[in-house]
Amino acid sequence: MPFIENVSYTDLERLALERLIPALLSHGFCYVDGLLGDLAGSAVLDQVVEMHRSGQLQDGRLAGSIPGVSRKSIRGDQIAWVSGAERGCEAISFLLNLIDRLISVCASRLGDKAIRERSKAMVACYPGNGAGYVKHVDNPNRDGRRLTCIYYLNKNWNPKEHGGVLRIFPEGKSYVADIKPLFDRLLIFWSDRRNPHEVQPSYSTRYAITVWYFDSEERAQAKKRFRDLTASTEQQGSSSS
């Protein structure tokens, strides 16, 4: 059943209690199919395709560079960051509001009162030339990211032909989890070292929207570390000049 605009708090609570929270606690990840339904999901897809067509997506950046290794061999996606308030992002804004409500229910039921903010949305396209993203952890260094939410937008996706599977390597588990990037699917997983993951090479244009929900306390500590490091670096620079 698609979660249309007038979805009730009770529906979200039921989804969180019966499916999302048990899966997060036992496996570290979960997904929901048919989140918006075909009409609203297609409206989100149309806006993302228009962003791609009009040249708004840029090559994804890396946190650091490795000598002799090209960026594209590590991550080959093109991205844009949006708040949802931009013109032409109305359907994306609708999606983000729904995910906000869902995560709010999950956070309260998990007793995680620190999840109170999120990132902007990262609209991403793997252009279908074999591009992927090597195995990595979203938050390896306690930067505040607590939950990763990825909404997929790919109609008629055939993993055998198109690739593009997101493979999760759950920490301490003997199995891997292969998540197909299917249209109107929402994937949620812990952002820390519990869930290393990779995007396998894509051989067709692959669209997704990702948001990260922050642990406010951990994020504040990370910002303080960054400020302290910046101040220390500037101090060293002024004393050596």
- pLDDT tens-place string over residues 54-69: 999 998 876 554 444 4
The whole-number average pLDDT for the span 214-234 is 84
Asked whether the predicted pLDDT for residue 232 surpasses 80, the reply is: no
Any idea of the CA torsion for 140, 144, 146, 148, to the nearest 10 degrees?
-80
pLDDT in tens, 161-192: 999 999 999 999 899 999 999 999 999 999 99
So what's the pLDDT on residue 70?
A: 46
**SS3 at position 154:** strand
Contacts of 207 (CB under 8 A, 6+ apart): 45, 48, 49, 52, 123, 124, 125, 152, 153, 154
Stretch (H or E) spanning 74: helix 71-74
So what's the pLDDT on residue 241?
A: 53
Q: In whole angstroms, give the CA distance from residue 141 to residue 80.
A: 24
- In eight-state DSSP terms, residue 179 is E
Domain ranges of the chain: 9-216
CATH number of the structural domain 9-216: 2.60.120.620
Asked whether the predicted pLDDT for residue 26 surpasses 80, the reply is: yes
- Is pLDDT larger for residue 229 or for residue 66? 229
Q: Is the pTM of this model over 0.85?
A: yes
